[in-house]
């Protein structure tokens, strides 16, 4: 098992290129099922999650070909012939987003059998909304021993669907299925995350007819088939935000490139309020901070986009552990998403959690200790805290981190961080 070891006290100076967005790439990969023509995705991240989904697509007969390295990474998907519509538990359990192959398989072939998902343990995230929406589109669905069996022998048909609450996964899943449904589908209370806009624009490039992109009402006029093409994955706003927080935590000056400042505005607004200097550029931001001056405690509350992203909450909490004063952090998206708080406390942080609120009383210093990653975003918050902790911080169970961060040690090391990956140690947690 791997762990990441960080020696704190080193300022960051340099440039970090932002990778393609994981949360967009995996849905674009699922969209490749909708066409029998090749789909080429550029700016593709190489992550555990994209690897898992690539294995699942191959299970269906899709040819997946990766080329290039670094900023030139791309992947070609060729689903000209779907040879299987069965998604087994041992593949789907590794990443809950892989459940989103159900809709494309159903729309393309008229039937599919997909395992119910697994993934990070950050609260109950049922797939009821997904199944309800597909049922509204005419699918016949049965649940049997942990599998969803769905058929649409006469094809899917358009419908008006109003989600009871905003759901990114259900919006994306229904959007993909509706592109090949007969007639018009209207999705109300749709999520507006940038990754959904990226998916919708790629589908339009492939021949889909979608109106209302980036709004909470999507109108999809079904077409009989989609084409292939080439699409560049949107920059990863969560990776970008994480490195922005890392630069603010350690101090120094870091230029984040190949990104978009507007995608992390809710975060950088709070960072500026805390005393960090953030300068937008044509392709990202420059983050500067004098490590000799303590940051000011700043409150946040997670919200649906364009509010403060829940996927950046753990990172911001790490930043606030050494701020001057008390920060109040409200988590409004997922329950059970403060599992990183006890691990930050092992580094000397003073955090009190009650239900969906965390009070972070800033301390002057953190100290290195062994800690354990509990989920994807929590794992990087521990690395960020380790950048300033006195001595050595070792982060275990970094397979969580590998699901969403590409070449993290390499990118931080290039800016002066003392960080390394160690292989084959025994996890005592």
**Sheet hosting strand 140-144, strand order edge to edge:** 86-87, 111-115, 147-151, 140-144
| pLDDT at residue number 121 | 43
What confidence score (pLDDT) does residue 122 get?
Answer: 37
- 136 and 203 assigned to the same domain: yes
Q: Same structural domain for residues 160 and 223?
A: yes
Decide which of 334 and 255 is more confident: 255
Q: How would residue 247 be classed by pLDDT, with cut points 50, 70 and 90?
A: very high
Give the per-residue pLDDT at 124. Answer: 46
Residue 429 lies in a domain: no
Average pLDDT value for the chain = 95
pLDDT in the model for residue 118: 58
Q: Which of 158, 208, 144, 147 is nearest to 179 (CA)?
A: 208
| Residue 125 labeled ligand binder | yes
Q: 96: annotated binding-site residue? A: yes
More confident residue, 426 or 155: 155
Q: Are residues 277 and 185 in the same domain?
A: no
Res 417: pLDDT: 98
Q: Is 419 annotated as a binding residue?
A: no
Is 129 among the annotated ligand-binding positions? yes
pLDDT of 426 > 70? The answer is no
What's the pTM? 0.95
Determine the average pLDDT of the residues in 381-401: 96
Indicate if 92 and 182 belong to the same structural domain.
yes
**CA-CA distance, 164 to 344, in Å (whole number)?**
35
* Mean pLDDT, rounded, for 186-194: 98
333 is in an annotated binding site: yes
Which of 198, 232, 266 marks a domain boundary?
Answer: 232
Domain boundary among 206, 232, 258: 232
State the CATH number of the domain containing residue 286.
3.65.10.10
Taking the CA atoms of 180, 94, 336 and 2 in sequence, report the sign of the dihedral they define: negative
The whole domain housing 318 covers 3-19+235-422
Structural domain total, the chain? 2
Q: Is residue 247 part of a domain?
A: yes
Q: Beta strand pairing status for 277-281 and 39-42?
A: unpaired
pLDDT value for 402:
92
The pLDDT tens digits for 70-125 are 889 999 999 999 999 999 998 888 888 899 999 999 999 999 999 988 544 434 45
Query: Active-site residue 202, yes or no?
Result: no
**Residue-level pLDDT at 123:** 45
The residue that leads in pLDDT, 426 or 259, is 259
Q: Is residue 217 part of a domain?
A: yes
Question: What is the rounded CA–CA span in Å between residue 68 and residue 326?
Answer: 46
- Does any domain span residue 323? yes
Return the pLDDT at 377. Answer: 79
Q: Which residues contact 327 (CB under 8 A, 6 or more apart)?
A: 297, 298, 299, 300, 317, 320, 359, 360, 362
Please check whether residues 361 and 240 belong to one and the same domain.
yes
The residue out of 187, 217, 232 marking a domain boundary is: 232
- The answer to whether residues 293 and 390 belong to one domain is yes
Decide: residue 427, CB within 10 A, 0-12 exposed, 13-18 middle, 19+ buried. exposed
pLDDT band at 278 (very low <50, low <70, confident <90, very high): very high
Assigned domain for 219 exists: yes
Task: Say which of 30, 39, 48, 120 is annotated catalytic.
Answer: 120
Angle between helices 22-31 and 48-59 (to 10 degrees): 10
């Amino acid at each position: 098992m791997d762990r990441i070891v960080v020696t704190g006290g080193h300022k960051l100076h340099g440039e970090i290129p932002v990778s393609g967005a994981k949360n967009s790439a995996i849905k674009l990969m699922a969209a490749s099922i909708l066409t029998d023509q090749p789909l080429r995705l550029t700016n593709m991240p190489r992550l555990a999650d994209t690897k898992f989904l690539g294995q699942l697509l191959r299970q269906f007969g899709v040819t997946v070909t990766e080329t290039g390295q670094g900023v030139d990474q791309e992947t070609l998907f060729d689903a000209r012939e779907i040879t299987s519509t069965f998604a087994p538990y041992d593949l789907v359990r590794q990443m809950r987003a892989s459940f989103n192959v159900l809709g494309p398989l159903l729309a393309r072939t008229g039937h599919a059998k997909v395992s119910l998902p697994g993934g990070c343990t950050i609260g109950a995230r049922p797939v009821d909304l997904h199944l309800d929406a597909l049922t509204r589109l005419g699918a016949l669905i049965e649940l049997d021993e942990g599998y969803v069996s769905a058929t649409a022998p006469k094809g899917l048909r358009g419908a008006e669907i109003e989600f009871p609450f905003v759901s990114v996964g259900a919006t994306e899943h229904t959007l993909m299925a509706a592109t090949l449904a007969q007639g018009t589908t209207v999705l109300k209370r749709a999520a507006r995350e940038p990754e959904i806009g990226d998916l919708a624009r790629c589908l339009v490039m492939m021949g889909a007819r979608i109106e209302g992109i980036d709004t909470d009402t999507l109108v999809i006029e079904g077409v009989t088939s989609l084409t292939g093409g080439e699409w560049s994955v949107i920059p990863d706003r969560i990776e970008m935000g994480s490195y922005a927080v890392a630069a603010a935590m350690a101090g120094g000056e870091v230029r984040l490139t190949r990104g978009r400042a507007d995608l992390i505005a809710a975060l950088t607004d709070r960072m500026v309020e805390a005393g960090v200097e953030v300068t937008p550029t044509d392709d990202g931001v420059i983050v500067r901070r004098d490590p000799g001056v303590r940051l000011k405690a700043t409150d946040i509350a997670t919200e649906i986009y364009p509010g403060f992203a829940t996927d950046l909450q753990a990172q911001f909490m790490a930043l606030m552990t050494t701020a001057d004063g008390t920060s109040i952090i409200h988590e409004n998206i997922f329950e059970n998403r403060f599992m990183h708080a006890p691990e930050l406390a092992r580094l000397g942080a003073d955090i009190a959690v009650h239900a969906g609120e965390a009070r972070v009383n800033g301390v002057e210093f953190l100290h290195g200790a062994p800690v354990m990653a509990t989920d994807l975003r929590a794992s990087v918050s521990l690395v960020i805290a380790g950048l300033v902790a006195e001595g050595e911080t070792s982060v275990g169970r970094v397979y969580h981190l590998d699901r969403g961060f590409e070449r993290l040690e390499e990118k931080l090391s290039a800016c002066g961080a003392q960080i390394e990956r160690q292989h084959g140690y025994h996890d005592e947690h």
